[in-house]
Amino acid sequence: MLTTLKKDIHTAIAGLYDHRIDDGQLLISPTKKEFEGEYTFVVFPLVKAIKKKPEEIGQELGERIQAESNLVTGYNVVKGFLNLSLSKRYWLQTLSELTVKCGQAPIQNGKTLMVEFCSPNTNKPIHLGHIRNILLGWSMAQIGEANGYKVVKTQVVNDRGIAVCKSMLSWKESADGATPESQGIKGDHFVGKYYVAFEQLFQSEYKAWQSTEKGQAIYKSLSKDGDLEETFFKSYKNKYFNEHSKIGKRTKDMLLQWEAGDPETLALWKQLNDWVYEGFDKTFDALGIDFDVVNYESETYILGKEFVQQGLQDKIFYQKEDSSVWVDLEDAKMDQKLVLRSDGTAVYVTQDLGTAHMRYAKYKMDKLVYVVADEQDYHFKVLFEILKRLGEPYADNLYHLSYGMVDLPTGKMKSREGTVVDADELIEEVISEARNASQERGGLEGLTDAERTDVFRKIGMAALKYFIIKVNPKKRMTFDPKESVDMQGQTGPYIQNAYVRIRSILRRVSERPDYDLNNYKQELQEIEKELIVLLTSYEAMLGEAMNKYDPSLVANYCYALAKAYHRFYHDCRILNAEQEETRGFRLALSELVAERLSAAMKLLGIEMPEYM
RNA sequence: GGUCUCAUAGCUCAACUGGAUAGAGCAGCUGCCUUCUAAGCAGCAGGUUCCAGGUUCGAGUCCUGGUGGGAUCACCA
């Protein structure tokens, strides 16, 4: 219906001025509340071509459209804004079109979208930062599906390397055979404990070394003047680990054994990782997410080396005397970048090159989205540039969905200071907060315990997820645990509540009222029109969320729709409306809102309860 | 220091790609539950959109230059 309106505007412009504009330039938006009308056409863009005053064009156009289009019943012009009032026929027709469309599954576009997200390390449990990542990745996958893509959700687990060896060594030397079962701890937390223990041990070793003769000698010879001892040793940490530390030496030995395929080391590695995955799976379950394909870095870290040969041949890469391989990206305003170490092993970019290639060979995806924090912006710029130079056919279809870090009101999350917010704890907390709030409120008397638990879970998770996903991804956000469990105002539960109210009404309807949309005699309320406008904009919003890779648009849409519905609910009687046909109309409208709310929230990974 | 990025009400966030008088929520203050769920609705108050210029019918949004926060510049991943 909206497209018909646009067509009418086109016709009027063509008829009056013999001028055509393309659809993209035809700017039509919902009218601001202060003005009369429902849709506004901005005439300024026409001024140049037509060479008349904006007001004049507005008047002429308005008159013409009102005369010619049976959708427009009135107009007014303010400055260069032409506000149109639409006919009852428009609203009713739109509503019935929406009703028809609502039940239909999204049309497939035959394209494949791959989303990489989450990608944890196996030495630490999932934390708040991962949650933002996971919610973004999951939502993008859902939004992709809603836009007709076949979607492949994937993650690369960082299951190898020096960091993993740290927890392995720590467990081996101090656990005395303890297991998650014997300690009654979730597997990922169990392993994480040994990683922390390693770091503590290493720190105390390092601290002691700093005051030895050797440590002091190094400080004196290497520090620049003015460098405090503390600052110097902070930056020397990696070097110490690699060159002087005893525990560091043992860790590196373990990595060598791992790489050599030593059976005992591999068995230990596998055991610890299995524990971690068991723990991760529980967290993923609680978050309501899953993956289609899981890659492990222990498998992908060897990939990408064939590119080095090819790149050398094509003179895209060059080799230094020590046989390390580099790429020069300075003409693209980047640096010289290492792609292969002098010992012939791969680095981070090499792996990513290889993984991208492998994925394309396997899935032929039309789009690949990497959900990774913005601290890696530069890495992805480099990665994409290299793939382009190598002539990879998919190089232009890659996107780095870069998101800002999550801060706490007290500042940054730092694992060393123990300020990292653990995902499992957080989930438990929001759910119990939902339970408290609900019990204070009452009203779930008819439900079984299991049903009630399910409601609390849905409400708590909605509060948490909505709080995070409503923020524009590229912005750094502040996570206040107190606010994250809020259930009033712009929150997940507020939106759920609108849905629950509708479901509650629908449960009371025994017989659908008899009414005919084509023959509806009642006047429409402003708020009813507003709801229809919002429902109409759903599709455009979906497309925009996809194009901009921004799930927060969906979140904001849900809030706007729920807010409008709450007002409608307050202002208009639905079940006991004055007229039978009003009852029918409002029920249909409500049902449509419920379906849209539920569908849109599902895109964010948020479930709707039937009661609350 | 180079590069990238962000800055909007006391706090957390919006603003339809350059459009009307910059909007919501929280916190504060007022009202509204014997009528479909008050996790709601209505109202009050709160702003030099970091600063200074520029572009034009029109700038929170674009360009230039500052200021302040963050990230990144490893033969770590």
pLDDT in tens, A527-539: 999 999 999 999 9
Q: From the alpha carbon of A610, which nucleotide's C1' atom is closest?
A: B37
Tell me the CA–C1' distance in angstroms for A497 and B5: 37
Domains of chain A: 2-86 (3.30.1360.70), 161-273 (no CATH), 305-345 (no CATH)
A226: left (phi over 0), alpha (psi -120 to 50) or beta: left
Question: Coil, strand or helix: which one is A407?
Answer: strand
Q: What is the pLDDT of residues A120-156, one digit of tens each?
A: 999 999 999 999 999 999 999 999 999 999 999 999 9
Longest C-alpha distance within chain A, in Å?
95
Asked if A243 CB < 7 A from strand B, the reply is: no
Q: Residue A248 corresponds to which tokens in the numbers above?
A: 């560091």
Identify the residues numbered 20 to 59 in chain A whose C-beta atom is closer than 7 Å to any atom of strand B.
27, 29-32, 34-35, 40, 42, 44-45, 47, 54
Enter the tokens of residue A607.
Answer: 């479930």
CA of A82 to C1' of B48 (A): 31
Which bases along strand B come within 7 Å of a protein CB atom? Answer: 3-7, 11-17, 19-21, 24-27, 35-42, 57-58, 69-77
Return chain A residues 348..367 having CB < 7 Å to nucleic acid strand B: 348, 351
C-beta of residue A382 within 8 angstroms of C-beta of residue A128: no
Asked whether residue A323, judged by its CB, lies under 7 Å from any atom of the DNA or RNA strand B, the reply is: no
**How far out from the chain centre does Cα A423 lie?**
16
Which A residues 140-169 have CB within 7 Å of strand B?
158, 161-162
Protein CA at A534 to nucleotide C1' at B20, angstroms: 20
A266: which 2 tokens? 């591999």
Examine the pLDDT at A442 and tell me if it is beyond 90. Answer: no
Of A359, A293, A353, nearest to A118 by C-alpha is A293
Pair type for strands A81-86 and A72-78: antiparallel
Q: Tell me which residue of A216, A247, A250, A256 sits closest to A233, measured CA to CA.
A: A216
SS3 (DSSP) at A509:
coil
Q: pLDDT digit string (tens) for A241-265? A: 988 999 999 999 999 999 999 999 9
Cα–Cα distance list, A255 to A298, A299, A352, A560 (Å): 12, 15, 21, 54
Structural contact between residues A295 and A154, judged by C-beta atoms closer than 8 angstroms = yes
C1’ B47 / CA A112, Å: 46
Task: Specify the pLDDT at position A2.
Answer: 86
Closest nucleotide to A407's CA, by C1' atom?
Answer: B70
As a whole number, the mean pLDDT across chain A is 92
Strand B close to A443 by CB, under 7 A = yes
Tell me the ipTM for this assembly.
0.96
Closest to A467 in 3D by CA, of A502, A439, A427, A424: A427
How many CB atoms sit inside 10 A of residue A177's CB?
6
Q: Terminal CA-to-CA distance of chain A, rounded, Å?
A: 36
Two tokens, residue A118: 């989450």
Question: Measuring from the CA of residue A500 to each C1', which nucleotide is nearest?
Answer: B37
DSSP assignments along A9-56, one per residue: HHHHHHHHHS----GGG--EEEPPTTSSSSEEEE-HHHHHHHTS-HHH
| Residue whose structure tokens are 């929230």 | A601
For the cut 70, the answer to whether the pLDDT of residue A446 exceeds it is yes
User: Is A612 within 7 A of strand B by CB distance?
Assistant: yes
Structure tokens at A383: 């990665």
Burial class (CB in 10 A: 0-12, 13-18, 19+), A33: exposed
Q: Tokens at residue A400, please?
A: 């780095």
Q: Is the pLDDT of residue A107 over 90?
A: no
- The β-bridge relationship of strands A293-296 and A325-328 is unpaired
Whole-angstrom distance, CA of residue A56 vs CA of residue A115: 50
Give the DSSP H/E element, type plus range, for residue A372.
strand A367-373
According to DSSP, the β-strands at A325-328 and A72-78 are unpaired
CB atoms within 10 A of CB A151: 22
Q: What is the pLDDT of residues A549-567, one digit of tens each?
A: 999 999 999 999 999 999 9
Nearest nt to the CA of A556 via C1' is B14
Q: Is the CB of A594 under 7 A from strand B?
A: no
pLDDT digits (tens, 9 = 90+) for A259-303: 999 999 999 999 999 999 999 999 999 999 999 999 999 999 888
Looking at the C1' of nucleotide B6, which residue has the nearest alpha carbon? A475
| Residue A24: pLDDT band with limits 50, 70, 90 | low
- Rounded Cα–Cα distance for residues A253 and A247 (Å): 10
**CB of residue A324 closer than 7 A to nucleic acid strand B?**
yes
Rounded CA gap, A545 and A551, in Å? 6
Strand nucleotide closest to residue A344 (CA to C1'): B75
Q: Tokens 């949650």 — which residue?
A: A131
Q: Report the nucleotide nearest the CA of residue A350, measured to C1'.
A: B77
At A23, the pLDDT band (50, 70, 90 cuts) reads: low
| Backbone phi and psi for residue A401, each to the nearest 5 degrees, phi listed first | -80, 95
Task: Specify the length of chain A in residues.
Answer: 612
> In A140-199, which ranges are E strands?
150-157
Residue A225: its pLDDT value, please? 63
**Measured CA A151 to C1' B8 distance, in angstroms:** 37
What are the C-alpha distances in Å from A43 to residues A27, A53, A61, A540? 8, 10, 9, 22
